[in-house]
Amino acid sequence: MDPQFWHEKWQMQQIGFHQPQVNPFLIRFWTSLGLDANSKIFVPLCGKSLDMCYLAELGHQVQGCELSQTAIEQFFAENQLPFQVQSQQQHQFFSADQLELIQGDIFTIDPSVTASIGGFYDRAALIAWPETMRQQYAKTLAKLIPANVSGLLITLDYPQDTLKGPPFAVSPDWIEQYLAPYFEISLLSCEDVLADNPRFVNKQVPWLNEAAYKLTRKA
Ligand SMILES: C[S@@+](CC[C@H](N)C(=O)[O-])C[C@H]1O[C@@H](n2cnc3c(N)ncnc32)[C@H](O)[C@@H]1O
């Protein structure tokens, strides 16, 4: 997916991935990660997710990264948060009390920017990439997450030939092959959520698994 694809999605407000409520897996599994309440949480490809508000309400500092300036401006406007903007090279930093959203391409973020994070949260980021770019994203995530830092990863898996992504199917085998070199991986849950996803039902996708993993960056 090139940047233009996402800019057009935001411009046309074709944002079916955006959830009007906090992700249930986040609510269910976040505390089991055992992270410090005031630690900073990195949210790659954050969109305007309300999950960031949930994390902030738990006491975390939140550091998101998002390509679309529209998404970031909508996030602050819809949550009635006053913000400030600063530019640094090819990125803009939008900040409010507990939130800092970096507008720009995740592939151009320097690891020094995320050096002080104490956790991360990936919902609809890994699964936003087609296969070729997903491997590149996995390497970038590994570069941005410091040693021993844990996070929650939420994925979808389904027979890829039944539906054109995004979201793209990511299997447990893919996770093992491409993330295990960098992260300790623990499967927290895997459930068939087909009945809750009319787009997949309408396309006659036979099954749809949503999984939550705890990842910890290897030292
Ligand atoms: C499927 S959406 C998920 C958004 C969010 N995680 C959520 O749960 O609603 C993927 C997001 O990644 C953003 N994105 C795509 N490519 C990006 C890149 N190279 N760097 C930063 N953000 C990117 C898109 O603009 C889009 O908002």
Nearest residue CA, atom 11 of ligand 1?
Answer: 45
Mean pLDDT for 16-41 is 96
pLDDT classification of 8: cutoffs 50, 70, 90:
very high
The atom of ligand 1 lying closest to the CA of 51 is 8
- Ligand 1 atom at shortest distance from the alpha carbon of 166: 1
- What pLDDT score does 36 carry? 95
Look at residue 126 in the predicted model and tell me its pLDDT. Answer: 98
Q: How confident is the model over 143-190, as pLDDT tens digits?
A: 999 999 999 999 999 999 999 999 999 999 999 999 999 999 999 999
Query: What's the whole-number mean pLDDT along residues 20-47?
Result: 97
Candidate of 4, 10, 12, 45 to mutate for ligand 1, largest count of ligand atoms within 8 Å of Cβ = 45
Q: Tell me the average pLDDT of the chain.
A: 97
pLDDT band at 44 (very low <50, low <70, confident <90, very high): very high
Query: Does 50 have pLDDT greater than 90?
Result: yes
- The token pair at 111 is 């690891």
CA-nearest of 199, 201, 194, 174 to 185 is: 174
Residue closest via CA to ligand 1's atom 27 equals: 47
Summarize the annotated binding site for S-adenosyl-L-methionine as residue ranges: 10, 45, 66, 123
Domain coordinates in residue numbering, the chain: 3-9+23-217
Residue 108 pLDDT greater than 90, yes or no: yes
Which pLDDT value is given to residue 191? 96
pLDDT at 11: 97
DSSP 8-state assignment for residue 54:
H
Residue located nearest, by CA, to atom 18 of ligand 1: 105
Q: Which two tokens stand for residue 70?
A: 């529209």
Q: What is the pLDDT of residue 89?
A: 87
Looking at residue 1, its pLDDT comes to 74
53-78: per-residue pLDDT in tens? 999 999 999 999 999 999 999 999 99
Distance (Å, whole) CA 149 – CA 34: 11
3-class DSSP assignment, residue 120: strand
Q: What is the mean pLDDT of residues 3-24?
A: 96
- Tokens 């087909």 locate to 194
Helices 172-179 & 131-144, crossing angle to 10 degrees?
A: 50
Q: What is the dotted CATH code of the domain comprising 3-9+23-217?
A: 3.40.50.150
| Nearest protein Cα to ligand 1, atom 6 | 46
What is the atom index within ligand 1 of the atom nearest the CA of 128? 1
CA distance 176 to 198: 29
